Each structure stands twice: as C-alpha cells, then as structure tokens.
C-alpha cells in the first residue's frame, strides 16, 4: 500500500534507515563513549535477534512464560450501550505482569544473555518498567539495577516492593527534583561506566538508535497476533484501531501489524486537565521538533527550549515527547493523533469495569475513551482497541481521587 508517497509494502526494511532515522526523526544524539555501546547493541541486534535460535527461544518464552497469545475480547455490552459500532480489545492486561511492557523487557534481557552481559540497567518513574525488567532479569538470572528518584520511591511503594522481591537492586537518586529525569541521568551515567558487563534497557520506543526500532520490533508480536485473531474472529479487518501513546511502545507494536492495511489508525494522547502547557502530555498534538534523551522527535518545550513539565492522570503517559516513529507517522498522516482528557478517561475506566468486568490501567482507559468517541462518530463498523494493561495498580488512587461512581 502506498500512502502519501511512502511504500508500506517495504516499510519495515526502510524505516528506520541505517542511522536510525524515520524521515527526519530518530538518530542518536549522545556522547562518544555511549555511542560505542549503542553501536555494539545495534550490531548484536542485527546478528543475534534475527537468528533462528533467538527467535525460537523468544517464541517459546512468549508462550510458556508470558502466556501469549493474549486474546481479543468483544465488548458486547459496551458496544450495544453506544449503538451499532462493535468494539474489541486486545488483552495485553492478560500478559504476565499485567501489561505489554514485559514484551520488550524479555526481548532485551534475552539479548543481554546472548551478548554475555551479567547485568541489566534501567530507570523507572512510576515503577512499571522497573517491575517488568526485574521480572525478566529474575527469569534469566541477570543482575538488575533500577534507578529511581527518591520522590517516586516514596510514591510507588508497592512497585518498589515488587522489584525488591524479584531480586532487583533499587538505586535511590536524590539530586535535583529526584524524579524520572534525574533517574534517567543517573542510569545513563552508570551505564557509561559499566557497559562492558551491562546492557541498558529502555522502557519505550524512545532514546537513541537502536532502541526505537528494537522496542517496536519486540512489541510487534501484539500487532501480528491481533491482526490474525481479529480476522479469524470476524472474517475481516477492523475499520479502525486505537492505542494510547506515552513514549509509544504499545502503540508502535500494535500499529505495526496494520500499517499496510486499509485501516484507520488512531494514537491517543493525554489531555490531562486541559490545553495549557503543563496541564497535559500531548506532545505530538501540541509539540514541535526537538532533541531530548538522545533522539530527535516532536516534543513539548518550555520557553528555554528545554523539555516542558507535563501532567497526566496516568503516570505512564506523562512524558514530554514520543518515539521518533510516531513523529514520522504523524507528519505523513498515516496515524492520526488525538487527545482525551482525565474526566473522559475516568468515565471509560468505569464503563469498561462495570459493563465488561475488565478493570483497565488508567493509561489504557485513554484508548478506551477514544474508542467510545470514535464509535459514536462512526455509526457503524468495528474498532479494535489495544488494552495495554490492567488497572490493579490504579485502584487505590482512583477511589481516593474520584470515588466510586
Ligand atoms: C507504561 C505504560 C504505557 C505507556 O507506555 P507506551 O510506551 O506509550 O506504551 C501504557 N499503558 C500501560 C499499561 C503502561 O504500563
């Protein structure tokens, strides 16, 4: 399929290019010593991860440990409450550990094992990536250092406990605001010193090349399964698909299965409290081109051109940029990026819980909220939503802040 001059039959061969660019977005903007480590990972990715031994081991792990394939569920009661459009969800909430993140963490940790590394290093904000990586490290018998700001350590006590139970070393970062940004800096610094024995594992389709490509490829299992399952269930492709976008990993993997199909694709960003800078994290909708965290993409900047403060009710979505592939798909128009706010998200959280018996992660509830909007607009047809994770982690917060509805 040709779309706005881009040939999607050969898309995955050409995007990203050899230097990690999706059009003008992506690349690698990092110090030289770190670049050496990235080159090593890139080379290992192309030799090891494409080998049949690696592919078949990862396939076995997906089935026997992660519980894949995850099913697609038809949302019969929610759909009929809205009209004639049929809504479906791809159930990444049923992937082991309750979200899609384990898909790329298992891939990254398996690569670490094949490369002979002894340790995996990462930062975490809300702790979801830290828990997924700690799980993968336990499975493969790797050491695991998770850098986390002291503010986040206090806020996210259950995830800190999970990481420790899984055997990870949670390294407290106390300087600056002591949140995610400082944790990223500390993790990168540690990695620069330890890269002979360790591998850095990014939590989304962000950062320098090869991570946006590698994480997308590890997440593509979601899109491949979903396309096959949906056709088997209904005999046809969905008319539209929807996923929430923070850094963009669940969306990138899910979308990859449908980019070459006549399917409308929607990425949903968090509008939070509103359109004012600082009240949302809708980077593709309101942002502009810039470099941060080692890659060129579309980002939200403050008046000094630095990454702007962002907000979302979903801690997994409050990132001031998105992966370079999303910036590219945004510019060529293959994916439409749009927003839903906190209120619409909480409504969808309760609708899915009450009508379907599925408590979604607040991140995923953004996608459900948009699916509901789309169903009302379309009038007929089908919408497949990626339910990126389950809501157990969010229940206390929702009850405290919004009460039982
Ligand atoms: C982390 C997280 C997200 C956001 O990350 P992406 O890289 O944008 O997918 C979305 N949903 C859940 C459940 C998460 O844990």
| Residue 123 among the catalytic residues | yes
Separation of CA 246 and ligand 1 centre (Å) = 6
pLDDT at 334 over 90: yes
| 38, 28 Cβ separation under 8 angstroms | yes
From 203, 250, 367, mutation site for ligand 1 pocket: most ligand atoms within 8 A of C-beta: 250
Q: Tally Cβ neighbours within 10 Å of residue 237.
A: 16
What tens digit of pLDDT does each residue of 310-320 get?
A: 999 999 998 99
In short, whether 245's Cβ falls inside 6 Å of ligand 1 is yes
Confidence of residue 155 (pLDDT cuts 50, 70, 90): confident
What tens digit of pLDDT does each residue of 270-326 get?
A: 999 999 999 999 999 999 999 999 999 999 999 999 999 999 999 999 899 999 999
Sign of CA dihedral 280, 286, 287, 293: positive
| 153, 173 Cβ separation under 8 angstroms | no
DSSP string over 194-235: HTTTEEE--SSS-SSTTHHHHHHHHHHHHHHHHHHHHHHHHS
Q: Tally Cβ neighbours within 10 Å of residue 64.
A: 9
Domains with residue ranges and CATH for the chain: 22-62+101-211 (3.40.50.1100), 68-99+219-402 (3.40.50.1100)
| Residue 63 among the catalytic residues | no
Q: Tally Cβ neighbours within 10 Å of residue 159.
A: 23
| Residue 101 among the catalytic residues | yes
Number of the ligand 1 atom closest to the C-alpha atom of 128: 15
pLDDT at 179 over 90: no
What tens digit of pLDDT does each residue of 256-268 get?
A: 999 999 999 999 9
Closest by Cα among 61, 335, 38, 47 to 188 = 38
CA distances, 334 to each of 65, 126, 206, 328 (Å): 34, 31, 19, 9
Residue 330, classed as helix, strand or coil, is helix
């Amino acid at each position: 399929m040709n779309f706005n001059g881009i040939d999607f039959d050969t898309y995955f061969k050409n995007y990203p290019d050899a230097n990690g660019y999706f059009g003008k977005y992506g690349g690698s903007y990092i110090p030289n010593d770190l670049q050496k480590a990235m080159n090593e990972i890139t080379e290992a990715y192309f030799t090891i991860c494409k080998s049949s031994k690696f592919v078949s081991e990862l396939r076995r792990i997906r089935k026997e440990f992660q519980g894949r394939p995850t099913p697609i569920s038809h949302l019969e009661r929610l759909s009929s409450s809205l009209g004639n459009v049929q809504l479906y969800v791809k159930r990444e909430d049923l992937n082991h550990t309750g979200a899609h993140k384990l898909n790329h963490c298992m891939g990254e940790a398996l690569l670490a094992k094949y490369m002979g590394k002894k340790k995996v290093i990462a930062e975490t904000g809300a702790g979801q990536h830290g828990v997924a990586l700690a799980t993968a490290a336990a499975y493969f018998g790797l050491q695991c250092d998770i850098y986390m700001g002291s503010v986040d350590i206090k806020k996210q006590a259950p995830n800190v406990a999970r990481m420790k139970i899984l055997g990870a070393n949670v390294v407290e970062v106390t300087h600056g605001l002591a949140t995610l940004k400082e944790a990223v800096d500390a993790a990168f610094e540690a990695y620069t010193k330890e890269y002979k024995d360790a591998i850095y594992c990014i939590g989304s389709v962000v950062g320098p090349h090869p991570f946006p490509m590698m994480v997308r490829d590890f997440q593509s299992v979601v899109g491949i399964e979903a396309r096959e399952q949906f056709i088997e269930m209904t005999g046809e492709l969905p008319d539209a698909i929807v996923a929430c976008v923070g850094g963009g990993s669940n969306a990138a993997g899910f979308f990859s299965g449908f980019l070459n199909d006549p399917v409308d694709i929607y990425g949903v960003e968090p509008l939070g409290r509103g359109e004012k800078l600082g009240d949302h994290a809708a980077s593709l909708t309101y942002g502009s081109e810039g470099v941060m965290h080692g890659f060129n993409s579309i980002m939200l900047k403050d008046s000094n051109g630095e990454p702007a403060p962002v907000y979302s009710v979903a801690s997994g979505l409050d990132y001031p940029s998105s992966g370079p592939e999303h910036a590219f798909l945004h510019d060529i128009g293959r994916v439409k990026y749009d927003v839903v706010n906190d209120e619409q998200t909480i409504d969808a959280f309760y609708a899915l819980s009450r009508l379907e018996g599925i408590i979604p992660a607040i991140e995923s509830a953004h996608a459900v909220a948009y699916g509901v909007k789309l169903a009302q607009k379309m009038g007929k047809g089908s919408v497949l939503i990626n339910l990126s994770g389950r809501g157990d982690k969010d229940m206390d917060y929702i009850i405290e802040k919004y009460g039982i509805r």
